Amino acid sequence: MIRRRDAVAAAFQFLSRFPVPGDPGFSRELLHRSVVYYPLVGAAIGLCVAAAAALSGLLLPPLPAAVITLILWVLLTGGLHLDGWMDTADGLLSHRSRERMLEIMKDSRVGAMGVLACVLLLLLKASLLAAWIPGSGYTALPLLLLPPVWSRWFMVRAMARLPIARGDDGLAASFAGLAAVQERRALALAALLTLAAAGVPLALSGPGAAAWPLHLAAALLVPGAAYACGTLAARRASRRLGGLTGDVYGALNELLEAALLLVLVLLQHSGL
């Protein structure tokens, strides 16, 4: 029980700014155990985002409600993954050699490509939230848990399935040798959280609820889109860099959050 508590605490402290007490130590072994609970961190973030979307949507027009919701979303992660997104953009969009790209990504300074990528990503997320908020009833809001849950599951998959770029150097080295069973456990947890997010509101609404098609489609398509989009992006980055880095893990999370939010908006506006 103590080992599990420490692993959960490490996951929340590493990936979020939730005030989780304790000092688990962040050893390599603990980090490997903590990845199982990455989807749980995503669910906690998604729950806060859904609550913010519901409240702000009641009080404000869609666009300012979406911006406020997005600000909370970023604050809950401390901008950790956005930093990885910007560093990755600076490196991969420089079109330099592998060694030079890795040097650029390691530089703490943000370049023009990183700033541009960050601005465009935030604009995309804000616009998608603005499209989602006015068209979603109370039963659909829990679906906002799905993008952060499945984006963080894919981070675990990338850690377990793809090589690291810098050998023993960098954050990614802490996750080298991650057992595939950890990814499968994270997958099982993400599936359970999806069942809760998509199924519980429907159970409360009754078998004749009009939201059934949307929830069923989201529960099936969001995980599939996370796998397909994440695999394509991760493999392409790995080919160019000779593996993945901690920055790329963060960039994958940001990319997938936006892509999966787009899936939700497309499903919502398809008339399901």
| Cα dist from 194 to 3, 172, 217, whole Å | 25, 27, 12
Q: What is the full per-residue pLDDT of the chain (272 aa) written as tens digits?
A: 767 888 999 999 999 999 888 777 778 888 899 999 999 999 999 999 999 999 999 999 999 999 999 999 999 999 989 999 999 999 998 888 888 988 888 888 888 899 999 999 999 999 999 999 886 667 788 899 999 999 999 999 999 999 988 776 677 788 888 889 999 999 999 999 999 888 766 665 555 556 678 888 999 999 999 999 999 999 999 999 999 998 999 999 999 999 999 999 999 888 66
pTM of structure:
0.92
The pLDDT score that the predictor gives to residue 205 is 59
| Cα dist from 222 to 87, 153, 262, whole Å | 26, 12, 10
The pLDDT score that the predictor gives to residue 210 is 61
The pLDDT score that the predictor gives to residue 68 is 96
What's the CA gap between 222 and 216, in Å, rounded? 10
Nearest Cα neighbor of 46 from 66, 13, 72 is 72
What amino acid occupies position 137? G
Please report, for the chain, the start and end positions of each structural domain, with discontinuous segments joined by +.
2-269
CB 162 within 8 A of CB 243: yes
